[in-house]
């Protein structure tokens, strides 16, 4: 199991291209929250930002030399894909909020995003993912309720940037022990 996890960690670079992409996406969401176009339009544009995930992740994978689309028999890589896909089920809650509780949609989106990172802590032997998941989920809830969506989105940008740095540090340590 450890050898399979190590292979996934090095091949996928701990999912770093996706986290780097999320920094860009959350920055766009933050900028949308600052605008004055109405909550429905802002929420729709927020959803549309997620369409950038795969192209941005592909771009960042080239920079960090990760093979995020490698065909492999490694079950750990398949587990990583499954952990990512579970977020799609939770997005249904966010879609409900889009129509029924639009002011809470961005907060729920941030909470779902943060929560979906938790299994990657185990998958990639990463304390960074575990801490970010818990902190982002609770932080998005508290900050959005007290200060509003723009503050929660800014928090997500900062947290994802910190997670990016943490993953770079973790990967450097991994490569030194190899």
Question: Domain limits of the chain?
Answer: 2-66+77-177
1 DSSP 8-state letter: -
Instruction: Say if CB 11 and CB 77 are below 8 A apart.
Output: yes
CA 147 to chain centre: 22
Query: Using CA atoms, how far apart are residues 143 and 148, in angstroms rounded to an integer?
Result: 6
CA-based R_g, the chain, Å: 16
From residue 100, give the alpha-carbon distance in Å to each of 84, 87, 91, 93, 125.
26, 20, 14, 10, 38
Q: What is the pLDDT of residue 161?
A: 98
pTM of the entire structure?
Answer: 0.94
Q: What is the pLDDT of residue 115?
A: 96
Query: Using CA atoms, how far apart are residues 8 and 68, in angstroms rounded to an integer?
Result: 10
Q: Which of 114, 119, 123, 122 is nearest to 163 (CA)?
A: 114
Q: What is the pLDDT of residue 81?
A: 81
pLDDT along the chain (178 residues), means of 10: 91 95 98 96 96 96 90 84 84 93 97 96 96 98 98 98 98 86
Q: What is the pLDDT of residue 178?
A: 66
């Amino acid at each position: 199991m450890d050898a399979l996890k190590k292979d996934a960690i090095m091949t996928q670079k701990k999912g770093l291209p996706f986290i780097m992409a999320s920094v860009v996406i959350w920055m766009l969401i933050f900028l949308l929250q600052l605008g004055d176009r109405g909550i429905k339009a802002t929420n729709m544009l927020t959803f549309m930002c997620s369409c950038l995930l795969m192209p941005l992740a592909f771009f960042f994978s080239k920079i960090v030399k990760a093979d995020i689309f490698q065909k492999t028999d490694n079950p750990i890589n398949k587990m990583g894909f499954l952990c990512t896909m579970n977020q799609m089920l939770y997005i249904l809650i966010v879609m409900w909020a889009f129509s029924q509780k639009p002011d809470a949609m961005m907060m729920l989106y941030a909470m779902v995003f943060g929560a979906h990172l938790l299994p990657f802590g185990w998958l990639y032997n990463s304390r960074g993912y575990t801490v970010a998941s818990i902190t982002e989920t609770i932080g998005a809830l508290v900050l959005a309720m007290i200060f509003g969506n723009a503050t929660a989105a800014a928090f997500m940008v900062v947290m994802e940037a910190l997670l990016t740095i943490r993953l770079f540090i973790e990967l450097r340590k991994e490569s030194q022990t190899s």
